[in-house]
Amino acid sequence: MNPVVVLVPDERGMREFDGSALIRPVVYDVGGRIPAAGLDAQVLVAHGLDPARAGEIFEQLPKLRMVQLFSSGSDEWEAVVPDGVRLSNADRAHGGIVAEWVVAQLLTHYRKLEAYRDLQRERRWEALSSSTLSGKRALVFGAGDISENLRRRLEPFETVVTSVGRTARGTVLDIPRALARLAEFDIVVLAVPLNASTRGMVDAAFLAAMRDGAVLVNVGRGPLVDTDALVAELQARRLYALLDVTDPEPLPPGHRLWNAPGAVVTPHIAGTTEGTLDRCWAAVVRKVTEYARERIEEA
């Protein structure tokens, strides 16, 4: 069988697949031009490609069978990718790093590390009463890569972690059971994809069911949360929120969420560190190679 033609966005993609007997990489222009050598491509690596313009490229690729992303989330692409074409995310590339951000933010929150930085700037030697992750109960909506990495990082701190999936299995709760038990948890983490069933899932009723002083952590997508309902709870000083994603995003300079009591906002960077590109390419090579092997076995 001939090698699978894979469209890559740059010369690094050529190097990543260099020497593979299964794959023939071809560089394409993410602005829209497909070279003649790539018109038979079965796989397109979509890094740097605007989903809104992807249709122009898909029309040039009659043999396309797989679109490979660099991101863990795929919501922007689900309505764009043609029927019958596999949409593949960069699984195992971001989970550990995103989980690290969650732990860092939770430690900062419970140990009041930011308050101590303020005291240092004021040159004040003053002890504050703080809390600990030990004994806290965390409910994680999502039972995938982020959730598993978060469990491995939180359990050594003696935090009790419960995951939530679409269906109950083993220790994983389904969503109705999780919603019925919200008041039991000190920490609620959102690490689910954005789709029709999850958009706005954290509404006023959801937030009202959380226990006083609980922490909402969002590393999924901003529209998972009703922002107005969250701001109302924060202004009542009943909950805390650690947010790497917001709705709207980017968050406008005058938005109430910036200065809401108990809110910490970062600009969608939980999965971005030095080495991110290397991790993404490792995931891309693994997923595309798996696809090429499948095609050979089917031939």
CA–CA dist 11, 178 (Å, integer): 46
Other Cβ atoms within 10 Å of 73 Cβ, number: 18
Task: Give whole-number Cα distances, 203 to 162, 179, 209, 268, 269, in Å.
Answer: 21, 12, 10, 21, 24
Whether residue 177 lies in the annotated active site: no
Whether residue 249 lies in the annotated active site: yes
Q: Which of 76, 100, 184, 249 is catalytic?
A: 249
Q: Which of 268, 286, 294, 295 is catalytic?
A: 268
CA–CA dist 211, 137 (Å, integer): 11
CA–CA dist 54, 80 (Å, integer): 7
CA–CA dist 107, 29 (Å, integer): 44
- Residue 181 corresponds to which tokens in the numbers above? 């038990």
Phi and psi at 187, nearest 5°, equal -130, 130
Whether residue 109 lies in the annotated active site: no
Is-contact 137 160, C-beta < 8 A?
yes
3 state DSSP class of 122: coil
CA–CA dist 138, 186 (Å, integer): 6
Helices marked H in the chain — which ranges? 11-16, 54-58, 95-111, 113-121, 145-154, 175-180, 204-209, 227-235, 276-298
CA–CA dist 162, 178 (Å, integer): 9
Which of 143, 159, 137 has its CA nearest to residue 213? 137
How are beta strands 215-218 and 187-190 bridged, if at all? parallel
- Residue 116 corresponds to which tokens in the numbers above? 């101590």
Active site residues: 221, 249, 268
